[in-house]
Amino acid sequence: MMYRPRRNRKSEAIRSLVRENLVTPNDLIAPLFIMEGSNQRLEIESMPGYARLTRDLIVKEAKALYELGIPCVSLFPAIDERKKDSMASEAMNPDGLLQMTIRDIKNALPDMLVMTDVAMDPYSSDGHDGIVCPQTGIIKNDETLEILANMSINQAQAGSDIVGPSDMMDGRVAYIRDALDDNGHSDVAIMSYTAKYASSFYGPFRDALDSAPKAGDKKTYQMDFSNSREAIRETALDESEGADILMVKPGISYLDIIKEMSQTTTLPIAAYNVSGEYSMVKAASERGWLDGEAIMVEMLTSFKRAGCDMILTYFAKEMATLIQKQ
- Comparing CB distances to ligand PBG, the nearer of 21 and 251 is 251
Q: How far is the CB of 219 from ligand PBG (least distance, A)?
A: 11
Q: Is 320 helix (H, G, I), strand (E, B) or coil?
A: helix
Q: Which of 84, 106, 196, 282 is catalytic?
A: 196
Nearer to ligand PBG, 113 or 274 (CB): 274
Contacts of 135 (CB under 8 A, 6+ apart): none
* Contact positions vs ligand PBG (CB under 6 A): 117, 119, 121, 129, 166-167, 202, 205-206, 218, 274-275
CB of 13 to ligand PBG, least distance (A): 38
Find the catalytic residue in 84, 218, 249, 304: 249
Angstrom distance (rounded) from CA 144 to CA 142: 5
Kindly state the smallest distance separating residue 183's Cβ from ligand PBG, in Å: 23
CA dihedral angle for residue 143, residue 145, residue 151, residue 154, rounded to 10 degrees: -110
Q: Give the CB-nearest residue to ligand PBG.
A: 205
Number of H helices, E strands in the chain: 11, 12
Task: Give the residue among 25, 157, 33 at the shortest CA–CA distance from 103.
Answer: 157
The total number of residues shown for the chain amounts to: 326
- 267 secondary structure, DSSP code: S
| Pick from 253, 251, 230: nearest CA to 308 | 251
Q: Smaller CB distance to ligand PBG: residue 85 or 181?
A: 85
Nearest distance from C-beta of residue 18 to ligand PBG, angstroms? 34
> Which of 240, 245, 242 has the alpha carbon at shortest distance from 267?
245
> CA 245 to CA 322: how far, in whole Å?
27
| Least distance (Å) between residue 213 CB and ligand PBG | 8
- DSSP result, 165-216: E-S--TTHHHHHHHHHHHTT-TT-EEEEEEEEB--GGGHHHHHHHT---SSS
- Measured from the CB atom, the residue of 119 and 299 that comes closer to ligand PBG is 119
- Specify the residue, 257 or 274, whose C-beta has the smaller distance to ligand PBG: 274
Least separation in angstroms between residue 173's CB and ligand PBG is: 15
β-partners of residue 54 are 35
Q: Identify residue 28 by its one-letter amino acid code.
A: L
Euclidean distance between CA atoms 42 and 65, whole angstroms: 19
Our CB check for ligand PBG shows the closer of 81 and 187 to be 81
* 114-123 as b/e: b if 16+ CB within 10 A: bbbbbbbbbb
Minimum CB distance to ligand PBG smaller for 27 or for 117: 117
196 part of the active site = yes
Q: How far is the CB of 251 from ligand PBG (least distance, A)?
A: 10
The residues that are catalytic are: 196, 249
